[in-house]
């Protein structure tokens, strides 16, 4: 089997798995169902992916690749200040989570796995099939790629003067990313009609972006403070 044919089969399996995971969830999806939807034999599915755990890690790897491309497109934007790029990143990220819910859920799930993996005692409790997954091992190498681009965006903003000169790019980006993830998680409660808190999706998104702008811009100073190490406030 040639490389192009292999890539085609892998894509067809991933597409089938993504559709089923999105509809039924990871735990309820069976490999037999993936094979049926992909119109392949179950044996051929196992030729490409060792088990369902490895297949889910492959889907997660695809999700991180798509997220990285989103960040890359923003980072390559022409004629935009760093603050402009952050605004575009937030807007594109929100669209990404709305249009690719299964991808976003797999990314969040992987972040939870990393919390376990980075702790020696917790790692012992992880599913060995995940630890042995070739795609999980590849994820360990690439999962920081979107963040690297995000850090470059913050660095660009500090250099072009659209952001405060005292910002530490790594701390700033991860703080913004945590806020973006929290924003996505809270959209459901915000949209619930019977809540007592008076807030809508529309005014929250506008206020959310404005708050981040204010945080990034701060008070413009002519010189970089000598002793400040990346405080956001």
The pLDDT value recorded for residue 86 is 97
The pLDDT value recorded for residue 90 is 96
For 72-110, the three-class secondary structure string (H helix, E strand, C coil) is HHHHCCCCCCHHHHHHHHHHHHHHHHHHCHHHHHHHHHH
Q: What is the pLDDT of residues 152-162, one digit of tens each?
A: 999 999 999 99
* Of the candidates 94, 108, 84, 87, the residue with the CA atom closest to the CA atom of residue 201: 94
User: Given this chain, do its domains 1-48 and 52-217 carry the same CATH topology?
Assistant: no
Least confident of 1-15, 41-55, 148-162, 187-201: 187-201
Topology, domain 1-48: Arc Repressor Mutant, subunit A (1.10.10)
Question: Can you give the residue ranges of every domain in the chain?
Answer: 1-48, 52-217
Query: Measured between alpha carbons, how far is 232 from 179 in angstroms, rounded to an integer?
Result: 13
The pLDDT value recorded for residue 7 is 87
Residues in the chain: 233
Q: What is the pLDDT of residues 74-112, one digit of tens each?
A: 999 999 999 999 999 999 999 999 999 999 999 999 999
Mean pLDDT of the chain: 90
Interval 6-24 mean pLDDT: 93
Q: Which CATH superfamily is domain 52-217 in?
A: Tetracycline Repressor, domain 2 (1.10.357.10)
Please check whether residue 98 is in contact with residue 22, taking contact to mean a CB–CB distance below 8 angstroms: no
| Residue 224 in this model has a pLDDT that exceeds 60 | no
In sequence order, the 6+-apart residues with CB closer than 8 A to the CB of 217 are 83, 162, 163, 164
């Amino acid at each position: 089997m040639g490389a192009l044919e292999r890539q085609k089969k892998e894509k067809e399996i991933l597409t089938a798995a993504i559709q089923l995971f999105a509809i039924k969830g990871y735990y309820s999806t069976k490999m037999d169902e993936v094979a049926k939807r992909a119109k392949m034999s179950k044996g051929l599915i196992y030729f490409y992916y060792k088990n369902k755990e490895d297949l889910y890690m492959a889907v997660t790897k695809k999700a991180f690749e798509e997220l990285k491309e989103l960040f890359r497109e923003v980072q390559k934007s022409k004629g935009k200040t760093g603050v402009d790029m952050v605004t575009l990143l937030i807007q594109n990220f929100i669209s990404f989570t709305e249009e690719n819910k299964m991808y976003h859920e797999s990314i969040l799930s992987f972040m939870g796995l990393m919390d376990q993996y980075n702790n020696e005692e917790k790692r012992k409790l992880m599913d060995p099939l995940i630890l042995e997954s070739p795609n999980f091992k590849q994820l360990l190498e690439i999962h920081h790629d979107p963040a690297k681009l995000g850090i470059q965006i913050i660095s660009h903003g500090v250099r072009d003067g659209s952001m405060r000169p005292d910002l530490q790019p790594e701390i700033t980006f991860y703080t913004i990313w945590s806020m973006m993830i929290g924003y996505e998680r809270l959209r459901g409660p915000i949209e619930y009609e019977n809540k007592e808190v008076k807030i809508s999706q529309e005014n929250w998104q506008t206020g959310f972006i404005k708050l981040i702008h204010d945080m990034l811009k701060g008070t413009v100073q002519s010189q970089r403070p000598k002793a400040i190490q990346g405080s956001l406030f």
